[in-house]
Structure formats: structure tokens, C-alpha cells
Amino acid sequence: MATKKYKQLILALMFVLMLFTAQSTFAFEVNYVPIPGVGTPENCIPGECLGQLVSYWFTFGIYIAGALAAISFAIGAIGLISPNPSSHNDAKDRMKGSVLGLVLILSAWVILRTINPSFITPALTPLPGVAGIFYAKGEELAPAPLAEENVASSLAHKEGYNQILYKCTEGGEKIAPTLLIWKFPEPNLESGNNLTGGGIRVVRKKCGELEAIESAGSFKMAFETPGIYYFLGEYCTGYMSGANTTTQDRIDESFIGKIKSAKIVNGTKNEDYYGVIFHNTPDTSKGSDCTGPILADGCKNLSEYSLSGDFATFSAEIFKRRGDEDYLTAGDGVWFYSDVNGWDSGNKSGVFHATSEKIGRAFSAKTETFAFDYTGVNSEQAITCSYFPACKDIDPENYGGLDCCNCASPKDWSIGEDSKCGGSIRVGGNYLVTLYTEYTDEKGKKNSFCQSFKKDTANLSTENTARPGGVEINTIVIIPLK
């Protein structure tokens, strides 16, 4: 019976403490009791309120547990001096339990604070310089969601909040990212017509700027972060995607065959530099018609990187490239061989080594400039190519009837099992190697075909099987990757 009374007493004390602690109002409008060593969540910095609230209540719980342990110890001490000897053992157990509980509480606090203080003082990590995104009605502000599927029926709209305010912390204007707002004419993020018909507007906002959303059926928002952005209109106009940061073997249905321009947004850090090659097939690992590599940040029309001037995109080969500070650390370069398994061909293969210094930040050259070196190679082909590398253009009868060099550079790489110049590539680090072939289709239209490699490829005669009509490889591009 005594134990039950003690439990009731403890519960009553806890209830009284809770009454003294707060007055129930809305959200953070609470009068918090200051706790030594911890600030109160009142007037918290936007974006840090949750962390301060968790820290406050965690610390408050520690104080409550300590107080209850002290009370329990006092009750045990009173029982110990009771004239009733039968209660002494229970009193001793209570006192021991109180001391042990207090030690455990303090130990947990010390351990958590030693391992990582953020365990007991958690905080959200907002984007640099960003205070928040708000609905605005004159000077009145209310938190805004990153997406609203029905503006007209939203509580904010009914209360007269018809603008979006992008707010930054003091001094955060230079480091805060741009805010992107997609405004849809219909609810549920629907365009009401095709995406290129002008139904959807995408606006870019800097800190402190307002955007009216009263006429929008719905909207969504995102911060402009490093990556590749697709646009349905030229010069980065019309409907746009969010940031794409990894290769997509099949892009979103909204953009398949429709991308007219792309924008590269690079980060301020050296590791956030992006590049992209667009393909017209759903698999970037195989050869296909493609654009040239887009590396420069800013807006680029795809027509500028396509021989045909009109390119239908189905996949995007997206990569992180090295910046100006570390491109030499990508590796030892790339080796091109005149024979399959060139690095293990028993001294029968010519070689061209593109060093890291030669590759630089990015390297692009015609294949004939990658002339194979046959020095020290013991084969008939080596003799011919060493002494008469240009005999293709010379009458061989005037040169003792020697055969022509059929493998002077990667330009001579051909496909098929009977290929005399199959070729191979050895990648000595982290590089993207792309082989380009220019050809003219049956309609007389020029196109560019390409295939990329990131690892050693022992037999190019079987890898690059889709190259149209066995046309020569024209250009090789090498890009140091992260």
C-alpha cells in the first residue's frame, strides 16, 4: 500500500511540474521555463526550431529524472528512520535504486556528450544562408510547403496568402541557392495541355523576392543545386527538369525526344563539376547517335552539339569531371593499342599513350593524331608501319612492293572478326574515353555516332559493333572524372 502511495505522489509531482512548465497555446507560442545550460525554443531561428525543441525537452527530462531520483531517495531515507523495522529493507532498496538510477542518467548524458554533442543538442542543417520559404500577405508570413497540389482550396489561399516569399538569413544573399518555382495551371501539378504549350511556367527567385501564386492551380519548388537541367525550349526556356546528377539510361517521359537545351550548374566546390553526353537510344553503355560532350556551365542548345542540328534525346550520360585543381590526379592517362589485348599481346602491338598532362582538363583530337608507336615491336606490320606509315596514300610498287600500313592509328580500327586492326584501350585511372564516328545516313543527313568507355577494353572489334557501316572513327575525347 505504501508503494502505491509513493507512485501516486510521484505522478502528482510530475503533473504539477508540467503545469508550471508551459501554457498551452499554438505551435511554439509557449512560455518555457529556462533550464540552466540550455536556451528555450522561444524565438528560435527558422530551420533550427526542431533541434532546439528536442534539446530543451531532452535536458528537461534529465532534470525531472534527477528530481524524481532525489525525491525517491528522500522517501527511502524517511523509511529508514521509521520505528517500524520491517520497512527498513524496502527503504534501503529504494535508496540504492535511486542512487543507481541517478548514476545511470548522468552516465548516459556524459557518454552521449562525449561521443557526439549533437545527440543531445540536435539541429536541422538548412541550406547555407536560407531562412525559409513563406506565404506572404503584406507583412504577415506563414510557412509554405515545397508543393501545393491545389492552391485554390488551400487554407493559405483562403486566408489571403497569395504570394511566395523566399527569405534568407542576414548576410546569406550571396551563398543561398536560387529558388525554382514550377507553376502549373491546373491542380495536382497538371499542365492542362502539352508541356510545350506554355501552360507551365518556371520562375527563378533570389533571396527577398516575391512570386504571386494566386493564378496558379498548383505549384512545386526546389533549390537550384549542382547538376544537369533539361529544358523543352531553346536557350533554357519552357518547362524544365530538376537537377540530374547521375546517368539516366532512360530519361523522364516528359523529356524523351523533346529536350532542346540544357543547363549545367556547377558547385563552388571542386568536386561539383558536371558534364553530359545525350544519346538517342535508351542505353548509354552501347554505341548510338549522340551529341558532343557538353562541359561548360550555363545554358547550351543541343543543336550546337549535334551534326544534324536536330537531336532526339532518350538517355543522358552524366558524369562528374575534375576541375582545374586536380585533373592531373585522375590517373596515368589512357593507352590505345593497334591490336586486341594490346597490353598482353606478346610484343605485337603498337601503342599511343595519352598522358595525364596531354589530356589536361579535357582532350579532343582527330584519330590520325593518335599515331601508334611500333618501336621495338617484332612483327611484319610493325616494320611496314614504322617505315611507311603513310603508304596508304602512296603507290606501294615504288616502295619495293611493301604492303600498306593498315593500322597506323585508331582511325583504322575496324569491326568484325576478320578485322586486321581490332584495337584495345587501357584506362590508367578515372577517365571517360569516347570514340566518335561521323557518318551520313540514307537521307543525306550528317550524324555523329559515339560510344564511351571507362575501363579496360580488350577487344574493340566486338565492343563497338553498332558503328554504322564500318565507318572510320573520326575523333577521340578523353575527360578526367571524379
Question: Domain range holding 355?
Answer: 327-480
Least confident of 50-54, 144-148, 165-169, 225-229: 50-54
Q: Tell me the CATH number at 415.
A: 2.60.20.10
pLDDT band at residue 111 under the 50/70/90 scheme: low
* pLDDT score recorded for residue 122: 47
Q: What tens digit of pLDDT does each residue of 330-357 get?
A: 999 999 999 888 898 776 889 999 999 9
Determine the residue type at 304. E
Determine the residue type at 123. A
Q: Which is more confidently placed, 88 or 31?
A: 88
Report if residue 30 sits inside a domain.
yes
pLDDT at 24 over 60: no
pLDDT at 23 over 50: no
Q: What does the pLDDT average to over 45-49?
A: 43
Same domain assignment for residues 198 and 257: no
Same domain assignment for residues 163 and 305: no
Please give the tally of structural domains in the chain: 4
What residues have CB less than 8 Å from 149, skipping those under 6 apart? 187, 188, 189, 218
What residues have CB less than 8 Å from 234, skipping those under 6 apart? 260, 261, 301, 303
Q: What tens digit of pLDDT does each residue of 148-185 get?
A: 989 999 988 889 999 999 998 888 778 888 999 999 98
pLDDT at 396 over 60: no
Same domain assignment for residues 155 and 203: yes
Same domain assignment for residues 144 and 90: no
Q: What tens digit of pLDDT does each residue of 417-429 get?
A: 556 688 899 999 9
Domain stop point among 119, 151, 180: 119
Same domain assignment for residues 341 and 453: yes
Determine the residue type at 368. E
Q: What tens digit of pLDDT does each residue of 371-381 get?
A: 999 988 888 77
Same domain assignment for residues 359 and 464: yes
pLDDT at 138 over 80: yes
pLDDT at 45 over 50: no
Q: Which is more confidently placed, 393 or 228?
A: 228
Q: Which is more confidently placed, 250 or 114?
A: 250
Three-class HEC string of the chain: CHHHHHHHHHHHHHHHHHHHHCCCCCCCCCCCCCECCECCCCCCCCCCHHHHHHHHHHHHHHHHHHHHHHHHHHHHHHHHCCCCHHHHHHHHHHHHHHHHHHHHHHHHHHHHHHHCHHHCCCCCCCCCCEEEEEEEECCEEEECCCEECCCCCCHHHHCCCCEEEEEECCCCCCCCCCEEEEEECECCCECCCCHHHCCCEEEEECCCCEEECCCCCEEEEEECCCEEEEEEECCCEEEECCCECCCECCCCCCCCCCCCEEEEECCCCCCCEEEEEEECCCCCCCCEEECCCECCCEEEEHHHHCCCCCCCCCEEEEEEECCCCCHHHCEEEEEEECCCCHHHCCCCCCEEEECHHHHCCCEEEEHHHCCCECCCCCCHHHHHHHHCCCHHHCCHHHHCCCCCCCCCCHHHCCCCCCCCCCCEEEEEECEEEEEEEEEECCCCCEEEEEEEECCCECCHHHHCCCCHHHCCCCEEEEEEEC
* pLDDT score recorded for residue 480: 96
Same domain assignment for residues 80 and 217: no
Domain stop point among 85, 119, 153: 119
* pLDDT score recorded for residue 39: 53
Same domain assignment for residues 203 and 348: no
* pLDDT score recorded for residue 379: 81
pLDDT at 395 over 50: yes
Q: What tens digit of pLDDT does each residue of 59-72 get?
A: 777 778 788 888 88
Q: Tell me the CATH number at 164.
A: 2.60.20
Report if residue 317 sits inside a domain.
yes
Across all residues in the chain, what is the average pLDDT? 80
Q: What does the pLDDT average to over 315-326?
A: 90
Same domain assignment for residues 334 and 409: yes
Q: What does the pLDDT average to over 299-304?
A: 95
Q: Which is more confidently placed, 310 or 433?
A: 433
Report if residue 238 sits inside a domain.
no
Report if residue 198 sits inside a domain.
yes
Same domain assignment for residues 337 and 473: yes
What percent of the chain shows pLDDT beyond 70? 75
Q: What does the pLDDT average to over 191-209?
A: 75
Report if residue 135 sits inside a domain.
yes
* pLDDT score recorded for residue 389: 61
Same domain assignment for residues 452 and 343: yes
* pLDDT score recorded for residue 95: 83
Domain stop point among 175, 191, 224: 224
Q: What is the CA radius of gyration of the chain?
A: 35
* pLDDT score recorded for residue 135: 94
Report if residue 237 sits inside a domain.
no
* pLDDT score recorded for residue 234: 92
Report if residue 286 sits inside a domain.
yes
What percent of the chain shows pLDDT beyond 90? 39
Same domain assignment for residues 110 and 181: no
Report if residue 242 sits inside a domain.
no
* pLDDT score recorded for residue 32: 61
